[in-house]
């Protein structure tokens, strides 16, 4: 009898306004939609033997609850907190509950933008941060978690 391959799961959380990708400031965030990004991640996940679940919310509490739900169910978390990167202690505290790799992703290089975007409330507690590579940052994050 063949043994089933143990499929790992990775959660990808997209923060506020990312549902507007492709329409909102495409010169900064690119022209790909969130659906296209999620599709790319799911396809790559299949190649890597990883089930990719995605979630997007404009609401901080919903993001916190989704982080709570990842505990014990996922091999890793990729999160783009978007504007909450710079303001949310609640998201930071939720991430501290996890004992899995967490990679913070930003489409733009937050350190080359307005000064208020230079401070990430989560950068010092996540496993890694990827910023400025556009959609490729999500790909890099998923590939990194697959190797962890």
Q: CA 147, 37, 18, 79: dihedral to nearest 10 degrees?
A: -10
Considering the candidates 14, 29, 74, 84, report the single residue annotated as catalytic: 29
Q: Is 68 in the active site?
A: no
Considering the candidates 14, 74, 84, 106, report the single residue annotated as catalytic: 106
Q: Provide the 10 A C-beta neighbour count for residue 142.
A: 24
Q: Is 111 in the active site?
A: no
Q: Are 60 and 88 spatial neighbours (Cβ–Cβ below 8 Å)? A: yes
Cα dist. 56→2, 65, 98, 137 in Å? 37, 12, 19, 17
Residues labelled catalytic: 29, 106
């Amino acid at each position: 009898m063949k043994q089933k391959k143990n499929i790992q799961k990775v959660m990808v959380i997209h923060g506020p306004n990312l549902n507007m990708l492709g329409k909102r400031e495409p010169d900064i965030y690119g022209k790909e939609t969130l659906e296209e990004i999620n599709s790319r991640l799911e396809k790559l996940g299949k190649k890597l033997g990883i089930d990719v679940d995605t979630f997007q919310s404009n609401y901080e509490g919903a993001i916190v609850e989704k982080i709570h739900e990842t505990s014990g169910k996922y091999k890793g978390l990729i999160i783009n907190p978007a504007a909450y990167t710079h303001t949310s202690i609640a998201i930071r505290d939720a991430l501290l509950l996890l004992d899995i790799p967490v990679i913070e992703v930003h489409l733009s290089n937050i350190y080359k933008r307005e000064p208020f975007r230079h401070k990430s409330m989560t950068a010092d507690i996540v496993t890694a941060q990827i910023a400025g590579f556009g959609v490729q940052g999500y790909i890099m994050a998923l590939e990194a978690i697959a190797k962890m």
